[in-house]
Amino acid sequence: MHIEVAGKGPPLVLLHGWALHGGVFAPLVERLADRIEFHLVDLPGHGYSRDVPLPLVLDACIDEIAARTPPAAWLGWSLGGLFALKAAATCPQVRGLVMLAATPRFVVGDDWPHAVERSVFAQFGHDLQNDYRGTLDRFLALDTLGSEHARAELRSLKQTLFARGEPAPSVLQQGLRLLERSDLRQQAAALAIPNLWISGRRDRLVPAAGVAAAAMLAPDAEHLDIAGGGHAPFIGHAGLVADKIAAFVSGLAGAA
């Protein structure tokens, strides 16, 4: 699995969203490389890890990443949040958790209304088989829909999407199944480390109300809601997100 190291300071492991790769976090690296040592993961099937045989499943990926990174805070954006949250609940070397436009459960349920319908991921899976590139374009549009900086965010994501090659279609299907079937609310409620939840109030994929509800489940949680933010606030509101992450990681280092 490809893991790029950049910057200097307290370590932070970053896990990207569906169909992207570690390069998507460039706006954070540019702002914080003098304060944070980034460990930028390309999950299996994505980016420079496209041909890695490891399946895109939580436990196996977490074990591999933990074996190759130092004790650190972990940050997960969107799909990456499932890996980061599971690691934070089960892996002793995870010292803090940042959930960026991510929740323990991405689909609605009787007791979890602030999410998307299960059919959304099923439809993306069906469309991938018939129109691979068009489906990815539509997903990126959904990532940025509603944000006050939607055009700039969409342009950035499109430039990033294939910068390290095309993600493997079979792994994209695995990722959709993870988003559709995972429910890590019990793990969130059992967290024993500091955790920060960041939402975009205009996010159409992971509603801010769902992020707020997840933060209420977790002990020792902090929640930042970005008023004009969509699903990729670390692009459109990079300065605000970077400052919050820097303060959180610095606080962990000071408490160590």
Which residues are part of the catalytic machinery? 78, 203, 231
Report the alpha-carbon distance of residue 73 to residue 1 in Å, rounded.
19
Closest CA to 244 of 229, 226, 231, 227: 226
Which tokens sit at 176?
């959709």
Residue type, 210: G
Helices marked H in 131-203:
132-144, 150-161, 169-181, 185-189
Angle at 31 between CA 198 and CA 249, to 5 degrees: 50
SS3 at position 37: strand
User: Across the beta sheet with 11-15, what order do the strands follow?
Assistant: 3-7, 37-41, 11-15, 72-77, 94-100, 195-200, 221-226
User: DSSP assignment, residue 148?
Assistant: T
Q: Are 3 and 42 in contact (CB under 8 A)?
A: yes
